[in-house]
Amino acid sequence: MSIKNAFYAQSGGVTSVINASACGIIETAKQHDDKIGKVYAGLNGIIGALREELIDTSLESVENIAALRHTPSGAFGSCRYKLKNFEENKREYERLIAVFQAHDIGYFFYNGGGDSQDTAYKVSQLSEKMGYPITCIGVPKTVDNDLPFTDCCPGFGSVAKYVAISTKEAAMDIASMCESSTKVFILEVMGRHAGWIAAAGGLAGKNHDEAPHIILFPEIAFDREKFLARVEDSVKKHGYCVIVASEGTQYEDGRFVADAGAKDAFGHTQLGGVAPTLANMVKQTLGYKYHWAVADYLQRSARHIASATDVDQAYAMGKAAVEFAVSGKNAVMPIIVREESTPYKWSVGEAPLSQVANQEKKMPIHYITDDGFGITAECREYLAPLIRGEDYPPYDESGLPCYVKLTNTLVEKKLRTDFDV
């Protein structure tokens, strides 16, 4: 196969380590210049390919590309845009082929979660369905930790570390004030259908007498009376109650406790507001003074306290993606394989995109205590290695982290027509 250029794009919600995967891809591609020419990054994900807005990463300095490893967010811009099926919108695929042909692109790397891997899988079918040869590799990323096959997902370990630390520190604050002030603190975290992030809050305490006293999982139906009884019991026993609640906490009939009534671009229910909803329940029924917080973007952008394990794995997934591609593999995604928990050992494996796309991995029920409010020892054993180690970014004299901002220079367009998305 002659030398072909590569296309890389970031998709879905960004993380504190997605740029580490980008760094792994770009640096590794340079080591295979006998097969890969330039690496073009899509401006704002797959939208950049459709609009022919391609960033020439070769124009960035070696130092700036290396700095991606310690820089949060999506350096090239991300998007929430899902390709439709061939039959529904063939023009999208015809446009992709036109752009890829115009810029001699033969490799496609797509960095994202389940919906994004669906896009990657559809692109991998361009050769079969439309006669355009392209090597397509998915690169795992999601803070929700809900991709199948892989032991964990890049982005999750750092969020887990942030949530565990935040829970621990907030609990210490509440404990010092509860005698005459706040009795209940609620931290709302991400997780629409899988409670992995909420579970990570459980690492803040070493046993069930330590905060968090209640964890609410999407996998366990929310019982209002049972919840309020546990809050009251905790306040009577400890003087205060710390709660970590997944945004996807839902009733037995499937209704979300915090359904905002809107949908995102992937068609998922827009969530947010479970913390104030729970706080109002507590206030109205028990009368306790409360405070609540929503981790929101803070949890996924906190590169300053990223897990070293997570950073290493994110880079390794990008590196492996390129190595898979140049070795002739196609329509696969590199995954993390846990070999041992104690001591923690992992290696790189692979999974077919056809089986990864649009699948969600929920927490095993045996990771949740019988009362539905905590994590088991087995869950703790799974989570603990993922938050270990620090990988601090460099700091400048102002006391702030040194994060890189790329020039993101676009290549000249070769097609005469624009494309609306």
290 contacts: CB under 8 Å, gap ≥ 6 = 182, 183, 184, 185, 186, 279, 282, 283
**How far apart are the C-alpha atoms of 40 and 23, rounded to whole Å?**
13
Amino acid 346 reads W
pLDDT at site 359? 83
DSSP three-state, residue 171: helix
**Which among 56, 115, 118, 144 is annotated as catalytic?**
144
**How far apart are the C-alpha atoms of 420 and 332, rounded to whole Å?**
29
Q: Which fold has domain 156-303+373-387?
A: Rossmann fold (3.40.50)
**How far apart are the C-alpha atoms of 185 and 293, rounded to whole Å?**
8
**Residue linked to tokens 């794009």:** 9
Q: What pTM, to 2 d.p., does this model score? A: 0.94
Which residues are registered as beta bridge partners of 41? Answer: 8, 55
CA atoms within 13 A of residue 239's CA, in its CB half-sphere: 11
**How far apart are the C-alpha atoms of 163 and 239, rounded to whole Å?**
22
Long-range contacts of 124-131 (CB under 8 A, 24+ apart): 124/330, 124/331, 124/353, 125/86, 125/331, 126/93, 126/96, 126/97, 129/86, 129/93, 130/93, 130/94, 130/97
CATH of region 4-141+307-357: 3.40.50.450
**How far apart are the C-alpha atoms of 284 and 70, rounded to whole Å?**
45
Q: What is the pLDDT along the chain (421 residues), one digit of tens a residue?
A: 589 999 999 999 999 999 999 999 999 999 999 999 999 999 999 999 999 999 999 999 999 999 999 999 999 999 999 888 888 888 999 999 999 999 999 999 999 998 889 989 999 988 888 899 999 999 999 999 999 999 999 999 999 999 999 999 999 999 999 999 999 999 999 988 899 999 999 999 998 889 999 999 999 999 999 999 999 999 999 999 999 999 999 999 998 998 744 455 555 555 558 999 999 999 999 999 999 999 999 999 999 999 999 999 999 999 999 999 999 999 999 999 999 999 999 999 999 999 998 788 889 999 999 999 999 999 999 999 999 999 999 999 999 999 999 999 999 999 999 998 8
**Residue linked to tokens 């394990």:** 309
pLDDT at site 193? 86
The answer to whether 193 and 218 are in contact (CB under 8 A) is yes
* 259 counts as catalytic: no
pLDDT at site 261? 46
Q: Where in the chain is the domain with CATH 3.40.50.450?
A: 4-141+307-357
Q: Where in the chain is the domain with CATH 3.40.50.460?
A: 156-303+373-387
Residues in the chain: 421
